[in-house]
Amino acid sequence: MRKDQVPQDDGKMLDGKTRDLYYVLDENGNYVQALSQGWDPKTTVLQQAWDDINEQAELARKEVLEGKYSPIHYYMEKTQMDLKLVSEYTGFSKGKIKDHITPEGFKKLTEAERNAYAETFNIKPEELESF
């Protein structure tokens, strides 16, 4: 791609505050950096992906409110974290996390465990409780 071909569509994602970096050819045939404000096809695909993520998080939220799962299930969906990743962040075994995803297991959480989950999901510990 040449420098004059870098897409400059309106950056709709993140209020247009982000830019993509491209390596393109200048008029002398040398590779240079160029910033793009956005590209409509990419913005559309990203928006569809975020819509899917938000839909899954909303489903998880409803399941928590119905008493099927604990708030940990919701925050895992919202942050797109699986058991392995949560295990790596918290230091808990996958089996322990599976137990904590149940309402019964969640009630048995210690303060240290709640704090570990809150830190992992970048929330306050109270947010786990007041879901």
Domain positions in the chain are 3-38, 42-129
Residue 38 in contact with residue 13, Cβ under 8 Å? yes
List alpha helices for 2-129, DSSP H.
40-65, 71-78, 83-90, 94-101, 103-107, 111-121, 125-129
Residue-level pLDDT at 16: 64
For residue 35, what is the enclosing H or E element? strand 31-36
Per-residue CA distances from 101 to 14, 53, 110 (Å): 31, 19, 14
Residue-level pLDDT at 56: 97
Which residue ranges in the chain fall short of pLDDT 50? none
Residue-level pLDDT at 72: 98
Residue 60 in contact with residue 73, Cβ under 8 Å? yes
Residue-level pLDDT at 76: 97
CATH code, 42-129: 1.10.260
Residue-level pLDDT at 13: 58
Residue-level pLDDT at 85: 98
Residue-level pLDDT at 7: 80
Residue-level pLDDT at 14: 59
Residue 69 in contact with residue 101, Cβ under 8 Å? yes
Residue-level pLDDT at 15: 63
Residue-level pLDDT at 129: 87
